[in-house]
Amino acid sequence: MTATTDGSTGALPPRAAAASETDITIPVAAGVQEAAASAMQRATDFLLAQQDAEGWWKGDLETNVTMDAEDLLLRQFLGIRDEATTRAAALFVRGEQREDGTWATFYGGPPDLSATVEAYVALRLAGDAPEAPHMRLASAWIREQGGIAAARVFTRIWLALFGWWKWEDLPELPPELLFFPKWFPLSIYNFGCWARQTIVPLTVVSAKRPVRPAPFPLDELHVDPANPAPAQPLAPVNSWDGLFQRLDKVVRGYRSVAVRRLRGAALGSAARWIIERQENDGAWGGIQPPAVYSLIALHLLGYDLQHPVMRAGLESLDRYTVWREDGARMIEACQSPVWDTCLATIALADAGLPADHPQLVKAADWMLGEQVVRPGDWSVSRPQLPPGGWAFEFHNDNYPDIDDTAEVVLALRRVKHHDPERMDRAIARGVRWNLGMQSKNGGWGAFDVDNTSPFPNRMPFCDFGEVIDPPSADVTAHVVEMLAIEGLSHDPRTRRGIEWLLAEQEPDGSWFGRWGVNYVYGTGSVVPALTAAGLPARHPAIRRAVAWLERVQNDDGGWGEDLRSYQDATRWSGRGASTASQTAWALMALLAAGERDSKAVERGVAWLAQTQREDGSWDEPHFTGTGFPWDFSINYHLYRQVFPLTALGRYVHGEPFGKQPAKQPAQHAASAEAKGS
């Protein structure tokens, strides 16, 4: 049996499928070393050519058509939608529709109801007639799945803005949430930062319940237009879902008796909270969803489109736009220049580029200038911790993240900078900040400390993906690897991180990947960290990981993993079509485990060499990045370049940088300042 185009059957034990997708016969014999060196050089030249004149790298960050649909809906709501923008957006959305009339949220994935509803509405805004064949296919499928009523809450919120759904049939989200203290189970600071930035403006929208005149009806998307929102049965009262459903009814009742002065104070607090977190470039947190909701909320609170806050916010939306050669307009959910730049620096250094190469020094200069040196939302939990982290995006001083900070330090250590004292000071600040952001259990989350409350995920409106930020194996591994390079392998905090990682290993030998797909990413992150921290290759945890990677290697020599592993690990863990980035992650783990001369490594390296394009790049349509496991997936277009180059460099040159000791003076500086925290 083979997988369908959209993969909806999921019936394939995916090893056979991966081999069939590339018509390649890979000899695992002599010549692999030479092929690897040649591929490494071509990849180095290609990546160097992609660097911006300012020193950074940034690949496109591809998600799904809901970004494009919601951008058009925002412009319709604010009265600023124009024909040129609409036409370009529709060209992209139309091009992503599959033969069955649906849209998915990742390449080869199953149809997604909410994405299909939003894409359909976007095309209606662009003038596509509901009787057109591609639209009839989409609307018929939507009705088969239960219609708009079965779509996620956030999709129905967008539709409620135009009267296509009733506000009364949505969960209540009161702005008084902002008054809950941090220790309260439903404080906004118990939500992950991405959810927090979205929920605060949505409390304003929920309180105001605006309705703009709909430009057309959407009866064709309801199973029963006369009864679009059939009553849903309540879950048992002794279940969490049942408890929160009943809590929502209480909150709905509060709306009718809310004290006007208290409601007014809550809305004012929400406005201040939103405005205080607007970045210098006009965006919010460097990501698109909070930006669009913040603009709607402020507009509802009386901020006109010419107000400086609104004007800067609207101008920032254009920075999320990627124009394609055919004139289509794709919207990025966010941009990843810091992440891409540190990964590119690591890749080039590990491929043998001299540490004082001008382009590496320029990258280091740019990264040094991006360090966040003022407190942000993280300081609510760590008020005494001095700042010093790095964020993911161009402008995001409120939400530096632990993962970027660890990888930036690893990148900077590979560069011979003309101002080593400046470098050491910046690294010491980053190390101190990361150590201060360790959670109680010994692991590290992405943005916050101990963001592990079970309650936010139970809220009725939280059906759009993960809304908390607990420690993850991949982030913790990157921090442990960074601490090891900084000479802190034996620091008690590092040892706690190592113990947490060892306890998190899956029974099959892999590790779960929170921010990359999935067990291949987790394992590819953890094994290099553990060996850098001093665990020997013979350690049982390392051997179990090696055995797992060897078992899941595809017949074509590469590795791949489908996003369905987040829903069905039994069938999909480590299974999927071979990709350049996932093959590289597996190789990085095997090389760190001392498997350089193994057949698995030879076959993986050969696969990378033979699938490389003539210009030194790789093709990778598959999504290997993760926003929310399963719910929101990402294709980082630079992953297909930086990770294969890193793996090839470590194969060609032997020991990765992580096995080399840090320079003593810098090591002592970082250790001293870290201990001083």
Mean pLDDT, range 441-458, rounded to an integer: 92
Instruction: Tell me the domain boundaries of the chain.
Output: 15-59+336-454+473-676, 62-331
Query: 272-276, 620-624, 629-633: lowest mean pLDDT where?
Result: 629-633
Q: Whose structure tokens read 């990264």?
A: 367
Give me the residues paired with residue 329 across strands: 323
pLDDT surpasses 60 at 4 = no
- The yes-or-no answer to whether 15-59+336-454+473-676 and 62-331 have a common fold is yes
Mean pLDDT, range 255-280, rounded to an integer: 91
Query: Of the candidates 572, 581, 559, 577, which has an alpha carbon nearest to the alpha carbon of residue 644?
Result: 581
Q: Is residue 228 within 8 Å of residue 147, measured between CB atoms?
A: yes
Q: Whose structure tokens read 């979205």?
A: 198
Count the neighbouring beta carbons within 10 Å of the beta carbon of residue 220: 18
CATH class of 15-59+336-454+473-676: mainly alpha
Predicted pLDDT at 663 = 45
Give the pLDDT confidence of 166-222 residue by residue, as tens digits. 999 998 889 999 999 988 888 999 999 999 999 999 999 999 999 999 999 999 999
Compute the distance between CA of residue 147 and CA of residue 91 in angstroms, rounded to an integer. Answer: 25
Outline where DSSP puts E strands in 313-427.
321-323, 329-331
Q: What angle do CA 306, 309, 311 make, to 5 degrees?
A: 40
Mean pLDDT, range 54-68, rounded to an integer: 97
Sign of the torsion angle spanned by Cα atoms 574, 23, 642, 103: negative
Compute the distance between CA of residue 558 and CA of residue 670 in angstroms, rounded to an integer. Answer: 38
Q: Is 0.85 topped by the overall pTM?
A: yes
Q: Is residue 344 within 8 Å of residue 363, measured between CB atoms?
A: yes
Predicted pLDDT at 656 = 60
Percentage, residues of the chain above pLDDT 90: 81
Mean pLDDT, range 460-481, rounded to an integer: 89
Query: Of the candidates 39, 36, 38, 18, which has an alpha carbon nearest to the alpha carbon of residue 28?
Result: 36
Query: Of the candidates 128, 60, 139, 58, which has an alpha carbon nearest to the alpha carbon of residue 89?
Result: 128
Count the neighbouring beta carbons within 10 Å of the beta carbon of residue 289: 22
pLDDT surpasses 80 at 488 = yes
- The burial class, CB within 10 Å (0-12 / 13-18 / 19+), for 181 is exposed
What does each C-alpha distance from 348 to 40, 47, 236, 254, 403 come to in angstroms?
A: 9, 8, 56, 58, 20
Give the pLDDT confidence of 64-103 residue by residue, as tens digits. 999 999 999 999 999 999 999 999 999 999 999 999 999 9
In this structure, which amino acid lies at residue 235? A
Query: Of the candidates 647, 652, 655, which has an alpha carbon nearest to the alpha carbon of residue 520?
Result: 647
Three-state SS across 279-314? CCCCCECCEHHHHHHHHHHHHHCCCCCCCHHHHHHH
pLDDT surpasses 90 at 237 = no
Q: Is residue 445 within 8 Å of residue 474, measured between CB atoms?
A: no
Cα radius of gyration rounded to whole Å, the chain:
25
pLDDT surpasses 90 at 431 = yes
Sign of the torsion angle spanned by Cα atoms 144, 148, 153, 159: positive
pLDDT surpasses 90 at 478 = yes
Q: Is residue 605 within 8 Å of residue 29, measured between CB atoms?
A: no
Predicted pLDDT at 454 = 84
pLDDT surpasses 80 at 23 = no
Q: Whose structure tokens read 């603009």?
A: 295
Query: 352-361, 462-471, 588-597, 617-626: lowest mean pLDDT where?
Result: 462-471
Q: Which residues contact 305 (CB under 8 A, 6 or more apart)?
A: 78, 80, 299, 311, 314
pLDDT surpasses 60 at 310 = yes
Query: Of the candidates 385, 400, 288, which has an alpha carbon nearest to the alpha carbon of residue 339?
Result: 400
pLDDT surpasses 70 at 508 = yes
CATH 3.30.420.40 fits 62-331, yes or no: no
Most distant pair of Cα atoms in the chain: their distance: 79
Predicted pLDDT at 674 = 43
Mean pLDDT, range 598-607, rounded to an integer: 98
Compute the distance between CA of residue 268 and CA of residue 578 in angstroms, rounded to an integer. Answer: 52
Predicted pLDDT at 259 = 76
Predicted pLDDT at 248 = 65
Q: What angle do CA 310, 78, 121 make, to 5 degrees?
A: 135
Phi, psi values for residue 399, rounded to 5°:
-135, 65
Compute the distance between CA of residue 636 and CA of residue 169 in angstroms, rounded to an integer. Answer: 37
Q: How confident is the model at residue 404 (pLDDT cuts 50, 70, 90)?
A: very high
Which token pair is 160?
Answer: 């409620």
Which token pair is 143?
Answer: 């009705």
Query: 14-28, 262-276, 482-496, 656-670: lowest mean pLDDT where?
Result: 14-28
- The burial class, CB within 10 Å (0-12 / 13-18 / 19+), for 5 is exposed
| 206 sits in which H/E element | helix 193-208
Compute the distance between CA of residue 446 and CA of residue 53 in angstroms, rounded to an integer. Answer: 29
pLDDT surpasses 50 at 476 = yes
Q: How confident is the model at residue 245 (pLDDT cuts 50, 70, 90)?
A: low
What does each C-alpha distance from 537 to 8, 10, 540, 585, 600 come to in angstroms?
A: 40, 35, 8, 17, 16
What does each C-alpha distance from 171 to 30, 202, 205, 372 come to in angstroms?
A: 63, 11, 12, 37
What does each C-alpha distance from 628 to 250, 467, 514, 634 come to in angstroms?
A: 30, 9, 8, 9
Which token pair is 147?
Answer: 């219609």
Predicted pLDDT at 28 = 41
Which token pair is 454?
Answer: 């079970």
Predicted pLDDT at 243 = 61
Q: How confident is the model at residue 670 (pLDDT cuts 50, 70, 90)?
A: very low
Q: For helices 639-653 and 580-592, give the axis angle rounded to 10 degrees.
A: 30
Predicted pLDDT at 93 = 98
Predicted pLDDT at 239 = 72
Name the 3-class secondary structure at 277.
Answer: coil
Compute the distance between CA of residue 525 and CA of residue 546 in angstroms, rounded to an integer. Answer: 13
> Which of 216-230, 233-247, 587-601 reaches the highest mean pLDDT?
587-601
Compute the distance between CA of residue 120 and CA of residue 114 in angstroms, rounded to an integer. Answer: 10
Query: Of the candidates 182, 173, 179, which has an alpha carbon nearest to the alpha carbon of residue 204?
Result: 173
Query: Of the candidates 649, 556, 83, 675, which has an alpha carbon nearest to the alpha carbon of residue 343?
Result: 649
Compute the distance between CA of residue 481 and CA of residue 497 in angstroms, rounded to an integer. Answer: 10
How high does pLDDT run on average in the chain?
90
Q: Report the relative pairing of strands 632-636 and 625-628 from DSSP bridges.
A: antiparallel
Q: How confident is the model at residue 27 (pLDDT cuts 50, 70, 90)?
A: very low
Mean pLDDT, range 281-310, rounded to an integer: 94
Compute the distance between CA of residue 601 and CA of residue 651 in angstroms, rounded to an integer. Answer: 9
Catalytic amino acids?
A: 403
Give the pLDDT confidence of 110-162 residue by residue, as tens digits. 999 999 999 999 999 999 999 999 999 999 999 999 999 999 999 999 999 99
